[in-house]
Amino acid sequence: MTTQLLDGKALALQIKDEIAGEVRRLTAEGHRAPHLAAVIVGSDGASMTYVANKEKSSHEVGFTSSVYRMGEGTSEKQLLETIEFLNNDPDIDGFIVQLPLPKHIDEQKIINAISPEKDVDGFTPVNIGRMVLGEDCFVPATPMGICTLLRRYGIETAGKHCVVIGRSNIVGTPVANLLSRKGFDCTVTICHSRTHNLAELTRQADILVVAIGRPEFVTADMVKPGAVLVDVGIHRVEDSTKKNGYRVIGDVKHSEVDPMCSWVTPVPGGVGPLTIVSLLENTLKAYRRSMSKR
Ligand code: NAD
């Protein structure tokens, strides 16, 4: 079987080019550039890398970008005050609060405080509710990126059996919802930590989306030959042969699974770059909405 790549890196470059073109056109007309802000609390290495990547990508497409770095000891009240400030700043179109937050801060309380109009991560109850109802909303970035990959690569989805492993609020649950809806029309099964006979179910998948958070969990015996495989997982493992001392792997054992598949997302360079691009697309949408109200 020939396996083809769902090349997130290449597609992200193409979409970033399209966004940059739009930003150039807007600024040439005398408008300000879209502005994406990020709040990061503490100094978790992975979170700092994610925020740095988002900042870099914002600059690449011509957005204004700002990062609010707050110490590990930041109180919930201080963080809520920062969110209130960002909600009310007319020059900021959208912002994200990088998760996870330190244990003493109630994550859901923080998410609930973000204005749905600026919630470009699509995590607030209002945007999740709108998404489930099929209304115009900000769709969470990773599920949106997965949908973009499938759509832009012309993957046939109607009537296909899609099995999603993982039911988190930010990946598994929303991607299952989106792929079951009109437009994608998959028949979706959601699997999770309490699922019995997982491999029996995953072997039925025409499209297998893996968002489980366990390195190389999915092996060849769990996959149907010819399946489309989307690996959302990101894990750093030590690797002394690499300059930075680590390499990135996914939730799937790609060495044995990829040759069986029709299409696969590589790790790195699959879903990750599309997540960032989706955040940029949501910010551009928030910007257009706020400009049209002025
Ligand atoms: P999570 O830990 O919140 O959820 C994991 C899900 O897997 C849970 O719903 C759980 O029920 C399920 N699960 C755990 N063990 C299982 C088992 N043995 N059998 C079946 N299901 C099981 O994780 P998440 O936030 O959804 O992230 C998943 C992975 O995706 C992580 O590796 C994360 O780093 C990565 N991620 C990547 C991106 C990206 O842009 N590429 C974005 C978000 C998350």
In the chain, domain spans: 30-116, 141-272
Q: Report the DSSP pairing between strands 228-231 and 161-165.
A: unpaired
Please tell me the predicted confidence (pLDDT) of residue 292: 86
> What is the pTM (predicted TM-score) of this model?
0.96
What one-character DSSP code corresponds to residue 207?
Answer: E
Please tell me the predicted confidence (pLDDT) of residue 1: 76
CA atoms within 13 A on the CB side of 244: 5
Q: Assess whether the region 30-116 and the region 141-272 belong to the same CATH fold.
A: yes
Q: Report the DSSP pairing between strands 235-238 and 246-249.
A: antiparallel
Does 98 participate in catalysis according to the annotation? yes
**Which residue puts its alpha carbon closest to atom 18 of ligand 1?**
193
Please tell me the predicted confidence (pLDDT) of residue 294: 74
Does 54 participate in catalysis according to the annotation? yes
**pLDDT tens, per residue, the chain with 294 residues:** 799 999 999 999 999 999 999 999 999 999 999 999 999 999 988 899 899 999 999 999 999 999 999 999 999 999 999 999 999 999 999 999 999 999 999 999 999 999 999 999 999 999 999 999 999 999 999 999 999 999 999 999 999 999 999 999 999 999 999 999 999 999 999 999 999 999 999 999 999 999 999 999 999 999 999 999 999 999 999 999 999 899 999 999 999 999 999 999 999 999 999 999 999 999 999 999 998 887
Please tell me the predicted confidence (pLDDT) of residue 138: 98
Which atom from ligand 1 is nearest to the alpha carbon of 251? Answer: 32
| CB 148, CB 11: distance < 8 Å | yes
Please tell me the predicted confidence (pLDDT) of residue 57: 97
If you count DSSP H runs as helices and E runs as strands, how many of each does the chain have, helices first?
10, 11
Does 251 participate in catalysis according to the annotation? no
Fold of 30-116: Rossmann fold (3.40.50)
Give me the helix-helix angle, 125-133 and 172-180, nearest 10°. Answer: 20
Single out the catalytic residue among 16, 54, 118, 285.
Answer: 54
Which atom from ligand 1 is nearest to the alpha carbon of 274? Answer: 40
Could you say which of 3.40.50.720, 3.40.50.150, 3.40.50.410, 3.10.450.50 is the CATH number of the domain covering 141-272?
3.40.50.720
Residues 6+ positions from 229 with CB-CB distance below 8 Å: 208, 210, 223, 252, 257, 258, 261, 263, 264, 265
The Cα–Cα gap between 27 and 54 comes to 21
